[in-house]
Amino acid sequence: MIAKLVSTEGTYLEASIEIDGCKYCVMDELTLDVESSPKVGEAFEFEFLNMIDEGESWESIFQGNPEKKKCLEQIRGWKYRAFGEVISINPVKIDCGVLIEEEVIHTHDSKVIGEYVAFTITRLGGYAI
């Protein structure tokens, strides 16, 4: 996907990126290499790489999205609540609109496909491709 670097506080600190007109706060792993890193205002290929809260219960994940949303809602900083739909198993993939997340739950039960879920991303991050 294409993102634009809006601002950064420095490597491994908060950065703001824009994707399809929406701003997201991410951990800045974009400016690790000064020569190849995107500059503020520049568009670049971006891929999410997130840390998921592994302490959430199955029940809270499967009961957390009764409105059937597909989006990310910022809690604070780079911490987000993700809402999405399970689109496949082996591996389980969840479509959250702007991103498809894996590794949230593990199951081989195809009955979860089509279920709407919610989970917490403790660190929204990513890198320039």
Per-residue pLDDT of the chain (129 residues), as tens digits, is 999 999 999 999 999 999 999 999 999 999 888 788 899 999 999 999 999 999 999 999 999 999 999 999 999 999 999 999 999 999 999 999 999 999 899 999 999 999 999 999 999 999 898
CB 18, CB 94: distance < 8 Å:
no
CA angle at 18 for the pair 12 and 24, rounded to the nearest 5° = 55
The two structure tokens encoding residue 59: 């029940």
The two structure tokens encoding residue 18: 């824009």
Query: What predicted TM-score, i.e. pTM, was given to this entire model?
Result: 0.93
At a CB cut-off of 8 Å and minimum separation 6, what does 22 contact? 98
* Domain chopping of the chain, boundaries: 2-49, 53-120
DSSP string, 70-95: -EEEEEETTEEEEEEEEEETTTTEEE
The two structure tokens encoding residue 104: 């949230």
CB atoms within 10 A of CB 69: 18
